[in-house]
Structure 1
């Protein structure tokens, strides 16, 4: 039995698509548990298997703590993914080619 995980890469909106959104649609994102940018389309507990385009963490709604291994992320704990994002800009090095910078509306207001 082949137990290799199939990768799903989310479609990323272009800058033009983001700019053409109505004001009501803009800025309605929810924070990614890994990078903190407002990339989740729904609250974290509802964003099952959503992959953040900024850090490429696959949201795991079943995690009970940030040190628990994530089934969605090849047993990587959220704490390790956060440290990786701070260190090199992705949840793990293999995802670096797929990440993008956050759009202005994805940056939390309290972000320094």
Structure 2
């Protein structure tokens, strides 16, 4: 995966966010929505909550919305964002 999710910022995407593929991230369960990428406080679109709320939820709970908790997984080593990658390396 070469591109980060708009919500969790892990590299779970094959294409850049906002390209109308509405792909669901397996790490945070955010459904990519080009409108919500442009307007992160908008609650209209593919998701019931705004991108900003989903990002806050991910930071707090590890999922975009609590109702999706059973659908998510931890990022693998190749999906980790740069900050986590550096933290993971320093712990070895």
TM-score band, normalised by shorter chain: 0.7 to 0.9
- Cα distance in 2 for residues equivalent to 1:73 and 1:83: 15
Q: CA deviation at 1:106?
A: 0.5
Q: CA deviation at 1:47?
A: 5.3
Q: Contact between 1:54 and 1:100, CA under 8 Å: does it hold in 2?
A: yes
TM-score, structure 2 as length reference: 0.82
Alpha-carbon distance change, 90 to 80 in structure 1, aligned in 2, over 3 angstroms: same
Match of 1:109 in 2: 82
1:58 to 31, 42, 60: 31
Match of 2:21 in 1: 48
SS of equivalent residue, structure 1 residue 96: helix
RMSD: 1.4
TM-score, structure 1 as length reference: 0.69
**Of the two, which has the highest radius of gyration?**
1
Q: CA deviation at 1:31?
A: 0.5
- Cα distance in 2 for residues equivalent to 1:46 and 1:39: 15
How many pairs align?
A: 84
Looking at secondary structure, tell me which structure has more helix per residue. Answer: 2
